[in-house]
Amino acid sequence: MTIIAPSLLSSDTFQLEKQLQEIKSAGANYLHVDVMDGHYVSNINFGPKYVKDLRPHTDLTLDCHVMAEQPEAIIDSLMEAGADIITFHPETTRHAYRLIEHIHEQGKKAGIAFDPSVAIAAYRDLLPLADQVLIMTVTPGFGGQKFIPDMLEKVQEVTELKAQNYYGYDIEVDGGINDKTGSQCKKSGANVLVAGSYVFAGSIKENIAQLK
């Protein structure tokens, strides 16, 4: 089954309640929430307060992608606010292994995210612990960017490592995902598709059906 994770970044804040219902009835599974700090990436958007406010309005899995330096400073607040999955970039913290353990101790799922410039080999030792591996298919920071086809090799690499070692992680892709690139990613092994601009432009129902 393909898990569909519409990205909150592309939603219309003033239509959010309606759009949350639309994505849910169209079959979305997660709501992907980008948490940015203006340092690791140059954009700033949602934080723990937003996640806390959002939580009573949706039963979709809140899939928080933390794009921040020293993610340990914000992760506890996100988990307390109701985040279900916390994914961070391992190069942003000194003790990534410990941080995954800490997320698990709070009963949450932990993901590791790979910027297009970061090799899987650099964080190979984290793979057995991860519930989710996020392959960024654009440089993180903004919605509406063009998919980087070379990242399909990275998706294949984590797919092979998963099969060879019986790892349990989901493989998520994020950035420039639409019906065509989503299909390529699925063929390469991805089972979680994050999509922002594609889902929220036009008919949410049809767009999610295409992704599925």
Has 37 been annotated as catalytic? Answer: no
In the set 63, 115, 170, 174, the catalytic residue is 174
Interaction with ligand 5SP in 79-118: which residues (CB under 6 A)?
A: none
Q: Is 37 annotated as a binding residue?
A: no
Among 45, 58, 70, 145, binds ligand 5SP (CB under 6 A): 145
Give DSSP secondary structure letters for 5-60.
Answer: EEBGGGS-GGGHHHHHHHHHHTT--EEEEEEEBSSSSS-B---HHHHHHHGGG--S
Q: Hey, is 61 helix, strand or coil?
A: strand
Toward ligand 5SP, which CB reaches closer, 142 or 167? Answer: 142
- Active-site annotation holds for 170: no
- Asked if residue 141 belongs to a known ligand binding site, the reply is yes
Selected catalytic residue, list 34, 37, 131, 170: 34
Site residues (CB under 6 A) for ligand 5SP, limited to 46-85: 65
- Please indicate if the annotation marks 32 as binding a ligand: yes
Q: Which of 38, 144, 149, 168 binds ligand 5SP (CB under 6 A)?
A: 144
Q: Of residues 3, 10, 60, 87, which one binds ligand 5SP by CB under 6 A?
A: 10
Q: How far is the CB of 62 from ligand 5SP (least distance, A)?
A: 13
Rounded CA-CA distance 131/111 in Å is 6
> How many Cα atoms within 13 Å fall on the side-chain side of residue 5?
25
CB of 207: closest distance to ligand 5SP in angstroms? Answer: 11
Minimum Å gap between C-beta 139 and ligand 5SP is 8
Burial code of 59-73, b = ≥16 C-beta within 10 A, e = fewer? Answer: ebbbbbbbbbeebbe
Q: Name the token pair of 58.
A: 């949706």
Selection from 189, 203, 209 nearest residue 28 by Cα: 209
Using CB under 6 A as the binding rule, whether residue 176 contacts ligand 5SP is answered as yes
Query: Is 197 marked as binding a ligand?
Result: yes
SS3 content of the chain, % helix, strand, coil (to 5): 45, 20, 35
What is the Cα–Cα distance from 163 to 204, expressed in whole angstroms? 33
Amino acid letter at 114?
Answer: F
CA distance linking residue 69 with residue 73, whole number of Å: 9
Q: Which residues bind ligand 5SP (CB under 6 A)?
A: 7, 9-10, 32, 34, 65, 138, 140-145, 174-177, 194-198
Tell me the binding residues for substrate. Answer: 7, 65, 141-144, 174-176, 196-197
The catalytic residues are 34, 174
